[in-house]
A and B are shown apart, each in its own frame.
Chain A
Amino acid sequence: MPEPLLEVDNLSVSYLTDTADIGAVDRVSLTVHAGEFLGIVGESGCGKSTLLFAIAQLLTPPAEITSGRVVFKGQDLVQLTDGELRHVRWRDYSVVMQSAMNALNPMKSIAAQFKDTMRAHGRMSADAIRTRSTEVLHLVGIDAAHLDSYPHQLSGGMRQRAMIAMALLFTPQLVIMDEPTSALDVVAQRSLMTQIKELQQQFGFAVIFVTHDMSVVAHYSDRVMVMYAGQVAEIGATSSIFERPLHPYSKGLLDAFPSVHGPRRALTGIPGSPPDLGRPPSGCRFHPRCSEAMAQCTTSEPDLYIVGETEVRCLLYAERLRDAV
C-alpha cells in the first residue's frame, strides 16, 4: 500500500464559547490516497464542514483543533505556521466553497480574481496568467469570453464552475469540495458532477467531497464516510455502503429518498433532529433517533468496529463480532 496522500488522525475540533466547549468534530480519522474520491455525507450541523475546514487549516476562532494530526504529503499541517501554510495551500491542495456567490468577490472580474490567486503564489507574467486563466476556464467548459465577466453576470452553475477552475489553477493533488452542487438543479448538478469526475480522471487529483445528499456521491465516489454528530458513523467502499448499509443512520438516510423508479414506498425519514453538540446524548449519539436502539446504547459509547471492509460505530456490530468469536 503506498503512503496515503492525506492522513487525518484522531482529529477533534471544538468551538470554544463562554458557556461550553462544543465538540463539532470528535476523533475523526480518515485517509485519502492519491487520485481517490472520498464522499463525506451528513446532515447540517453534523460537523462535516468544520472537519473540512480543519483539514484545510481554514478554521477561525472560536473554532480550534483540540487534538489530532492532519498529515498531508508527510507534513503535519496542524503544526505549520501561516507563512509555511501559504506555500502548500492552493498550490498542493485547494478548496471549493459551498456558495460560489459568496466565495467570489462581487467587485472583481473573474480574470482579476484568478490573477490575485496566481500572484499570491509566485511571480508570473501577465501573459502567462492570462493563458493559464483561459486554460482552466476551458477545462470546466466556460468560454474564455467570460474571463472579464463579474460573478453576477454568470449563472449559478457557471459560478460554481469558475470556482472549480480557480481551484485547478495550480493543478493541486487534492481538491476539497464543500457541497459545490447543493445550490444547483438536478440537471446542472449532474453535469457538474460528470465534469468533476472527468477532470479528476484527466489530472489524477484526489477529491474530498462533502454533501448532505447521499445520492449525489453514489455514482462518483470511491469511498463514503457518513458523519453523525461530529463522529464517523460509517466509512467504507461506496458500493458496499449503498448496497448494504450497516449503521441504522446510513440505512435511514438511504430510505429517506423518494425514488423515481420502481414501486412507490412510504418514506419514513428519521424521526427527531440532530443533537445539540454542546450536550451530546450519552452512550451512542444516535440512540435517541435510532429504531434499533438497545438498552446499552444509552450508556456505553460504541467504538468503530470493523465489519468486512467497512468501519461502523454501532453496538449492534460489537455484539455480532463477540458472538462470532
Chain B
Amino acid sequence: MSLPASAVPDGEGALLHTAGLTRHFRLGGLLSRRMLHAVDDLDLTIHEREIVALVGESGSGKTTVARLLAMIYPPTRGAIFYRGRSVHKLRSRKDVLWYRGEVPMVFQDPYSAMNPVFRVSHGVMRNLKLHRPELDRAQRHEEAERVFDIVGLNPAGDMLRKFPYEMSGGQRQRVGFAQALAVQPKLILADEPVSMLDVSIRAGILNMMASLRAEEGASILYITHDIASARYVADRIIVMYAGHAVEQGPTDVVLSRPKHPYTQLLLSAVPDPREKAVPVSADSGEPPRVIDPGEGCRFRQRCPYAIDKCAKITPALRPMGPAHDAACHVAAAEPLDADGKPAATTVAGSPPAP
C-alpha cells in the first residue's frame, strides 16, 4: 500500500508510527484456514503531545490496534516504530520494560481492570517499583500521592487506601489513568476510557485527558466509538472500518467535511439532543466480520455511492485536502485555491451525509 502524501514517510519526528500494521486471527480449530482480518495495512502516526482519536464501531479493529501497540499481541505483518526503534524487535527485559513504561494502556472497563482484593494503591505502587526502581519507599508513596492528585482523586492519602469496591466507576477510571501516569508515560493508550461511565462523569475524564496532555506532556491515543467526544479532545481523527483506516485528518476538517461515506454515516448517527432528528432509513447497522476478504472496499455493501470499481479494487488512502486523506474511489479531493487552502466545497460524489 502506498503511503498517503500527508503521512510522514518514515515517521520522522513522530513519537510512534506503524508501517503496514496487520493482524489476523485464525478462526476455528488448528487445521482451519479461515482468517479474521482484524487490522489490515494500518499506517498510523502519533506525534509528541498529540491526542489522536481512533474512531470506529465495535468490530472495526480499533481495540486490536491498541493491543498491538501495547505488545499484547505480535503483529501478523508490518511493524510498530517507537522513537525509531521497532517495538516487536525489542528483546531484552530492560528494553521491553522501557517501552511498556513509556506507552502504558488504560482499559475500557474500570470494574474488571483492578484486582478487587488489593487496595487501589497496589497497581500504582507496583508500576513505580517496576519502572522507577530508583525511588525508595517514601518517594514511591509521595509519587503515588502526586499522580492521584493530578487525576483529581483527593485527598490522595485517603483515596490510596481505598479498595476498588469503595470507588465509583469514574474514580476507578481515574485510578487507571493514575497507574499509567506513575510510569512517566510519553503515550497513553486509552481504550474507550469513558464508554462505561455515566454521562455526568464522562466530561470530567475527557477534561482530565486534555489536561494530562497540556500539563504532563503526554500524547494520547484515544480509542472510542463516540465521535462527539473525539471531537471534544482530539487534534486528529482516524476513522476505522472493518480493519482499514478509511479516513484521517485534523478533527475539525474530518468532522466538518467528511469525505468517506462511512464517516458521513457515523456522523449522522450521533444523537444530539440539541439538533432536530434526521429521518433515516434503518441501516442494519452491522459492520461485517472480515473473514478472508477478497479485493474491494469493505464498506461497499452499505455504501449508497458504491460503483463497480469498489468491488474490484481496495481503495487506498489518498489526499483529500491538507493532511486529510480518505480511502474511497468516489470521494473527490477538495480543489485548492491559490493559498493552498481548500476552496468552497463542491464535491461530486460526496453529497451531504446520508
> Could you list which residues of chain A lie within 8 angstroms of chain B, going by C-beta atoms?
43-44, 141, 155-158, 184-192, 194-195, 198, 212-216, 218-219, 242, 252-254, 256-262, 264, 266-271, 273-274
Contacts and interface: CB of A to CB of B under 8 A. Distances in A.
B149 interface: no
Contact of B269 (A155, A190, A274): A190
B257 to A, nearest CB: 13
Contacts of B203: 256, 258, 267-269
A317 to B, nearest CB: 21
B186 interface: no
29 contacts: A43-B200, A44-B169, A141-B284, A155-B286, A185-B57, A185-B58, A186-B227, A187-B57, A187-B283, A188-B57, A191-B282, A215-B271, A215-B273, A218-B271, A218-B272, A252-B200, A256-B199, A256-B200, A257-B228, A258-B203, A259-B231, A259-B274, A260-B231, A260-B270, A261-B274, A264-B231, A269-B203, A269-B207, A274-B168
Given A186-B266, A215-B272, A269 B200 contact: yes
A264 B225 contact: no
B255 interface: yes
B233 to A, nearest CB: 8
Given A215-B272, A264-B231, A267-B206, A190 B280 contact: yes
Given A188-B57, A191-B284, A195-B282, A258 B199 contact: no
Contacts of B168: 273-274
A269 B231 CA distance: 16
Contacts of A262: 274
B173 to A, nearest CB: 12
Contacts, number: 126
Nearest to B279: A194
Contacts of B271: 186, 189-190, 213, 215-216, 218-219
Nearest to B167: A273
A219 B273 CA distance: 7
B202 interface: yes
A258 B200 contact: no
A187 B269 contact: yes
Nearest to A156: B58
B71 interface: no
A195 B232 CA distance: 30
A212 B198 contact: yes
A215 B228 CA distance: 12
Given A219-B277, A260-B231, A187 B198 contact: no
Interface of A is mostly: loop
Contacts of A273: 168, 170-171, 201
Contact of B285 (A43, A190, A214): A190
Given A187-B266, A242-B274, A257-B199, 14 more contacts: A43-B200, A185-B225, A187-B265, A191-B283, A192-B285, A213-B271, A216-B271, A218-B271, A258-B203, A260-B255, A267-B206, A269-B202, A269-B204, A271-B204
A271 B171 CA distance: 12
A219 B277 CA distance: 6
A324 B179 CA distance: 54
B235 interface: no
Contacts of A270: 200
Contacts of A271: 204
A258 B282 contact: no
B275 interface: yes
A264 B231 CA distance: 8
Interface string B178-218: 00000000000000000000111111101100000000000
A153 B305 CA distance: 30
Task: Please give me the 5 A-B residue pairs with the lowest Cβ-Cβ distance, nearest first.
Answer: A269-B203, A188-B285, A219-B277, A258-B232, A267-B203
Contacts of A213: 199, 271
B275 A261 contact: yes
Nearest to A185: B57
Contacts of A252: 200
A188 B280 CA distance: 12
Interface string B240-259: 00000000000000010000
A190 B270 CA distance: 8
A188 B302 CA distance: 13
Nearest to A191: B285
Contacts of A218: 271-273, 277
Contacts of B275: 259, 261
Contact of A257 (B169, B273, B277, B286): B273
A214 B285 CA distance: 21
Contacts of B286: 155, 157-158, 188
A129 B267 CA distance: 41
Contacts of B229: 258
Contacts of A268: 203
Interface in B128-174: 168-171
A76 to B, nearest CB: 34
B249 to A, nearest CB: 15
B229 to A, nearest CB: 5
B226 interface: yes
B272 A261 contact: yes
Contacts of B169: 44
A187, A256, A266, A270 pick with most chain B CB within 10 angstroms? A187
A257 to B, nearest CB: 7
Nearest to A142: B284
Nearest to B226: A186
Contacts of B285: 157, 184-185, 187-192
A157 B255 CA distance: 26
